[in-house]
Amino acid sequence: MTPRTILVPVDFSECSGLALDYAVALAAKLDAKVHLLNVISIPFVAVPEVGSTISPTVLENVIHDNQKALDNLADARRTKVALGDTLLRTGDARDEILHAAESIGADLIVMGTHGRRGVTRALLGSVAEQIVRTAPCPVLTVRARKH
């Protein structure tokens, strides 16, 4: 089955930028539509490791800044491919990516992976790995280039 609806979760890292460019090139060849998603992970309750919650003003600023950055990513690619929604969600990235994929009827998810290993991976987990295991559609992962 040829993908027609591609979801690209972005976190504004180099890795997610590469994944977005890959998805745009692929979508242009397949006449598919690309939907962008950014998830803001917010500690709604105090987390001992963090020490406090995010104030409403800080949260509003983060949401505003991320929406602007997401819109800029979309605007820079509109001439190359059909773009669908630019989605901004708050919550757990894993859950929100899966919900977005289901809500837009994604045929493919293209996302970056940082390739973390060891203690860093154990502490931060792997969003990409969880999505690959549980997504309702195929997932293509793009890893950052080694310098």
Mean pLDDT of the chain: 86
Question: Whole-model pTM?
Answer: 0.86
Which domains are delineated in the chain?
Answer: 5-143 (3.40.50.620)
HEC string of the chain equals CCCCEEEEECCCCHHHHHHHHHHHHHHHHHCCEEEEEEEECCCCCCCCCCCCCCCHHHHHHHHHHHHHHHHHHHHCCCCCCEEEEEEEEECCHHHHHHHHHHHHCCCEEEEEECCCCHHHHHHHCCHHHHHHHHCCCCEEEEECCCC
What percent of the chain shows pLDDT beyond 90? Answer: 67
* Predicted confidence (pLDDT) per residue in 72-126, tens digit: 999 999 999 999 989 999 999 999 999 999 999 999 999 998 765 544 444 445 8
pLDDT computed for residue 107 by the predictor: 97
List, for residues 35-73, the tens digit of each pLDDT value: 999 999 876 444 555 545 667 788 889 999 999 999 999
